[in-house]
Amino acid sequence: MEPFLLDPIGDLLPVYKPSGVRIHPADDDGVPDLIGWLSAQPGVPAGTVPVHRLDAPTSGIVLCSADPNVRREASGWFADGRVQKRYLALVFGRARKKGIIRRKLQDARRQRPLEAVTRYRLAEALGNNSLLVVTPETGRKHQIRRHLHGIGHSIIGDERYRSRRFKSVPAFPGRLWLHAERLILPDGTLIEAPLPEALENHLDVLRAR
């Protein structure tokens, strides 16, 4: 599946990024990247690049812009926690109805641990697994993945932060089960991206068991 454009918001261009697509180009290993894809799209202004990051295996919304001033302002929203972010994650184990994870995470660039806060609530129990709605309040690298792994609820399909106890998942979709489904901008603008078909189909299989 390729990325696709969502409805523009002024000079901001929301884009749906599929799982397996990087934000930035890396070594010539054949892995697609969002910046390269944007540069090849007719009608997309030259110099359009992402405002923020999303892990390569995670699908969902990425805000982009060709205007450096707009990018600078929007980047500040994310840095200041003024963008409300919501993810869906399918994790191993039976999670509590809701929880707050407050645990500092080591930052490799700054060489020190940084404050990190992640909230979650149980959307649905599916056998021995749990579908969570996750709202990170900070934006540390791999924050959701690291925090959920740390409380014993690794995300299904996470090759880096693997579960130590749970392994077999029926109809495993072959990807990280994490989707950035919603952003709410400081002015209240809501941006949504539907759950990918592969993840929706996986939920249908688990619900039918």
Per-residue model confidence as pLDDT tens digits over 89-129: 999 999 999 999 999 999 888 889 999 999 999 999 999 99
Catalytic residue among 28, 55, 80, 204: 55
Is 27 a catalytic site residue? no
CATH of 4-208 among 3.30.2350.10, 3.10.350.10, 3.30.565.10, 3.40.30.10: 3.30.2350.10
How far, in Å, are 77, 123, 143, 189 from residue 155 at the CA level? 27, 15, 12, 29
Average pLDDT over residues 76-92: 97
Q: Tell me what percent of the chain is helix, strand and coil, each rounded to the nearest 5.
A: 20, 35, 50
Q: Where are the domains of the chain?
A: 4-208
Per mean pLDDT, which range of 15-19, 23-27, 71-75, 158-162 is the poorest?
23-27
